[in-house]
Amino acid sequence: MLTFAREKFTAALKFQREKAGVENGFWEREIEENLHIFESLPSTNKTLWELIDKGAPTGTVVIANQQTAGKGQWGRNWISEAGGLYLSVALAKPCGCNIAPDLPISHTAQLTMSGALGIATALRDRQIPVCLKWPNDLILQNLKLGGILTEVRGSRGRITKGIIGVGLNWANSVPETGINLQTYFAKEPTAKEATGQLLSLEMLAAMVLQGTELGLWRLQEEGIDRLLPSYCQLLGSMGREISIDGRSGKIVGVTPTGELRVKVDSDSMAATSYSPASTTEIFLKPGTITLGYSE
């Protein structure tokens, strides 16, 4: 069974941050102070919430080599076999202050989108051509490489505590709709050569964490309106033709609150639960449509 080396990870994270031109990253503290590594956990998100309830600060990280009760979107089971990367990072401060970016609960999807964009960017910088699948998946060669689960708590309609959980396939078994990086490198030796020998499970974790930091920093500094075009550029389903209630439509983007924008054929337009008859664009909430993994 693969093991996760703390010293190797912290060295890799330092390398990633120096490469990105930052010191301690978004969290403004040394990650080693609040790094918790486990061989197996029911859920990294669950363990991290328990740590937050005990006062764990922003930037606390929980990593496991296996999850026995991992969760995906909408409470679905997340298959988390040994050999994958399962990482959760806290956005909560023990004093209960708002996280940065300061967001209403209704905009929680912005954390997921910015984290996904940052991670995809970090992997693409290493010549791994990752794309995004709405609303929370990382895709490689039209197969699922990983996913993100964001959980938040709030007060008076605003987020005060949050967790971004990431599951990424490294050397673990995957279903037919999935792919792990070891399989990808075996099929694409030129990609492995381009990525270099620096890539390991620990380096992958460092890239994921640095990418999450990058995405959150961009969201805070640039705002969602400037970040969305970059997110949509990596969205594999952009321009895809789909059917909604028997009508044809084309995916044209994502709203700032995480809904899928679909332009519907005006000739077949009628009032629905999604939009009035006077518009030619509808907005789909996550969970209302399944896009699948093959194009």
Q: Check whether residue 223 and residue 257 sit in a common domain.
A: no
Q: Check whether residue 168 and residue 257 sit in a common domain.
A: no
What are the residues whose beta carbons fall under 8 Å from the beta carbon of 36, sequence distance 6 or more? Answer: 47, 51, 60, 61, 62, 63
pLDDT over threshold 70, residue 142: yes
Q: Check whether residue 129 and residue 270 sit in a common domain.
A: no
CATH of the domain at 198: 3.30.930.10
Q: Check whether residue 121 and residue 266 sit in a common domain.
A: no
Q: Report, as an integer, the average pLDDT of 130-135.
A: 94
**pLDDT (0 to 100) of residue 271:** 46
Instruction: Quickly state the pLDDT bin for 27 (edges 50, 70, 90).
Output: low
Distance, in Å, from the CA atom of 290 to the CA atom of 267, rounded to the nearest integer, reads 24
* Domain assignment present for 1: no
* Domain assignment present for 295: no
What are the residues whose beta carbons fall under 8 Å from the beta carbon of 206, sequence distance 6 or more? Answer: 9, 12, 13, 15, 16
φ and ψ at residue 271, rounded to 5 degrees: -65, 135
Per the CB < 8 A criterion, the answer to whether 152 and 161 are in contact is yes
Q: Check whether residue 123 and residue 225 sit in a common domain.
A: yes
**pLDDT (0 to 100) of residue 293:** 67
* Domain assignment present for 169: yes
pLDDT, greater one: 80 or 269: 80
Q: Report, as an integer, the average pLDDT of 87-102.
A: 68
* Domain assignment present for 122: yes
Q: What is the pTM of this model?
A: 0.88
Distance of CA 46 to the CA centre of its chain: 17
How many domains does the chain contain in total? 2
**pLDDT (0 to 100) of residue 143:** 95
Name the average pLDDT for the chain: 84
Q: Check whether residue 228 and residue 247 sit in a common domain.
A: no
Q: Check whether residue 211 and residue 101 sit in a common domain.
A: yes
CA distance between the termini of the chain: 34
* Domain assignment present for 289: no
**Strand partners for 64:** 38, 86
Of how many residues is the chain composed?
Answer: 295
Domain that holds residue 257: 241-284
